[in-house]
Amino acid sequence: MNITMKFGGTSVGSAQAIENVVQIVQEAVSAGHQVAVVVSAMSGVTDMLLNSVQAAVKGDKWGFIQLNNEIRDKHTNALHELMPAGRNRDDILGQLDAMLRKHQDLCEAISILGEATPRIMDAIVSYGERMSSRMVAAVMADRGLHAQALDASQYIITNDDHQNAEPLWLETAERIHSHLRPIVESGVVPVLTGFIGAARSGAVTTLGRGGSDFSASIFAAYLNSDELIIWTDVDGVMTTDPRLDRRAKVLPYVSYAEVGELAFYGAKVLHPKTVQPIIQKKIPLRVRNTFNPRHPGTLIGAETQDTGHFIRAVTCVRKVSMLTVSGKGMLGVPGIAGRTFLATARAGASILMISQSSSEQSFCFTVVDQKAQAVKEMVEQELAAEIARQDVDSVDVMGEVAIVTVVGAGMRHRPGVAGKVFSIMGNNNVNVLSIAQGSSECSISFVVDERDIPVAVERLHDLALEAAQAEPSRA
């Protein structure tokens, strides 16, 4: 089999974790599989790199030097534990040192300019994955694996939307197919950088925070992998975020559609775009635990399984604001919603959820807190004439709200689901501010006050747990 395996930040975050990674890959290779590995930066390193940019912008030289040292120590300590002293270790330490020097040079340049462009920020954060891939490949080689660190920027070609770049699919497919596939087929284990790509100009781009899952899925799709395994720090996709409710249970099977909704609405375990590249080829995706490799994890595939239970998982997105556009003059006037959403896009914000009242006199939508003010201003500018005529009121912003989502393929064609969800909310005194149903019909999302998150999530999670209890286990 050809397997693409992605190891997240915690999975490469310490010497012990990297030891587990090497063992997992060694076992797969010994079993006769071709393996391509994708790695994230060591846990915390992407944040440190971003903080170094902030320090540089402020001219805080000691700030970025200190971060540079912390990043160096993190890698060096792990390497000292993992590899014996000698030429190979010196060689990899030398490579990391060269990157850290470049990082410092870039920070110096930013501190002189007093500002950082998205392009230079991408160049800086890319060092996280570039360092971890070299380190992991060196340890694998030391343990006898035929491993080679490779930069994904050679293969994943993107547009130049820095910090949130989109792959250019045809070029990416071509590069992976012609240049990477032969490497994998020759028995080499490539250790690829997650998260990063390159624009046509050659400038490094990144795919958005948590984007290594997406990178791995792109590689799996164009390497024609038989399986994609996302190795992380939990046993699989769970009924809710275990940090929100400790009773969370692993779901043995989830469909692509269900996991797409879960990820979009806050389940950090997978990047929202992860399933996109593999859906068409129906490549099975597994989520497994690097620290508990005996656990079979969660299998994610095309088939939807109607378990007879309508709520399988609950998620939540915090730090969002709900914006309401309303006015007596809106009734029957076409185009107001369209213009509002275009203005939102111009403000650089993505809409997480939309809902409209049947009276057509108002609709509301949610964006992340940081963008709310900019969106309000842009929309008010767009609707200035209507606001002046008092057909539309000024845009109302309600902050400190959250989106709670329930997911389950079984809710499709089953009446009464929304009724049940909202009567549970009512019985628990949770005020529901707006409601929307996902187009795939396997999710219902609603907005509540941030304070109501624990009650809302836990009471709905009761239902997901009941359902999980009744599900057959499946490896």
Q: To the nearest whole angstrom, how small is the minimum distance from the Cβ of residue 131 to ligand ADP?
A: 16
Secondary structure (DSSP) of 210-234: TTHHHHHHHHHHHTT-SEEEEEESS
Which residue number, 8 or 167, has a Cβ lying nearer to ligand ASP? 8
Please identify which residue in 3, 4, 5, 10 interacts with ligand ADP, judged by CB under 6 A. 10
Q: Which of 439, 401, 405 is nearest to 421 (CA)?
A: 405
Q: To the nearest whole angstrom, how small is the minimum distance from the Cβ of residue 30 to Mg ion?
A: 28
265 DSSP assignment: T
197 binds ligand ASP (CB under 6 A): no
167 binds Mg ion (CB under 5 A): no
> By rule CB under 6 A, what string of x and - marks binding of each residue 280-319 to ligand ADP?
---------------------------------x------
What is d(CA 175, CA 12) in angstroms, rounded to the nearest whole number? 27
What is d(CA 472, CA 254) in angstroms, rounded to the nearest whole number? 13
Q: For residue 287, what are its two tokens?
A: 């989520």
- At residue 287, the 3 state secondary structure works out as strand
Residues 336-395, interacting with ligand ADP (CB under 6 A): none
Q: To the nearest whole angstrom, how small is the minimum distance from the Cβ of residue 21 to ligand ADP?
A: 11
Under 8 Å between Cβ of 286 and 230: yes
268 binds ligand ADP (CB under 6 A): yes
Cα 247 from chain centre: 23
The helices-and-strands tally (H runs, E runs) of the chain is 15, 17
438 binds Mg ion (CB under 5 A): no
Q: How far is CA 426 from CA 213, 246, 452, 466, in A?
A: 37, 24, 12, 20
- Look at the alpha carbons of 471, 247, 448, 397 in this order and tell me if their dihedral is positive or negative: negative
Which residue number, 194 or 410, has a Cβ lying nearer to ligand ADP? 194
Which residue number, 194 or 327, has a Cβ lying nearer to ligand ASP? 194
Residues 43-102, interacting with ligand ASP (CB under 6 A): 46
Please identify which residue in 22, 37, 41, 347 interacts with ligand ASP, judged by CB under 6 A. 41
> By rule CB under 6 A, what string of x and - marks binding of each residue 34-63 to ligand ADP?
------x-----------------------
Q: Which burial class, exposed, middle or buried, applies to 30 when counting CB atoms under 10 A from its CB (0-12, 13-18, 19+)?
A: exposed
Q: Which stretch binds ligand ADP (CB under 6 A): 137-145, 228-236, 396-404, 448-456?
A: 228-236
Q: To the nearest whole angstrom, how small is the minimum distance from the Cβ of residue 362 to ligand ASP?
A: 36
> By rule CB under 5 A, what string of x and - marks binding of each residue 191-230 to Mg ion?
-------------------x--------------------
233 binds ligand ADP (CB under 6 A): yes
- Look at the alpha carbons of 153, 159, 165, 167 in this order and tell me if their dihedral is positive or negative: negative
40 binds ligand ASP (CB under 6 A): yes
272 binds Mg ion (CB under 5 A): no
243 binds ligand ADP (CB under 6 A): yes
- At residue 9, the 3 state secondary structure works out as coil
What is d(CA 17, CA 24) in angstroms, rounded to the nearest whole number? 11
Q: Which stretch binds ligand ASP (CB under 6 A): 59-67, 181-189, 209-217, 377-385?
A: 209-217
464 binds ligand ADP (CB under 6 A): no
Q: Which stretch binds Mg ion (CB under 5 A): 7-15, 96-104, 367-375, 442-450?
A: 7-15
Buried b (16+ CB within 10 A) or exposed e, 418-434: eebbeebbeeeebebbb
Under 8 Å between Cβ of 41 and 9: yes
Expressed in percent and rounded to 5, the helix, strand and coil fractions of the chain are 45, 20, 35
Please identify which residue in 3, 4, 5, 9 interacts with ligand ASP, judged by CB under 6 A. 9
Please identify which residue in 194, 236, 272, 327 interacts with ligand ASP, judged by CB under 6 A. 194
**Which positions lie near ligand ADP, rule CB under 6 A?**
8-11, 40, 210, 232-234, 237-238, 240-243, 262, 267-269, 313
**Site residues (vs ligand ASP, CB under 6 A):** 8-9, 40-41, 46, 128, 194-195, 209-212
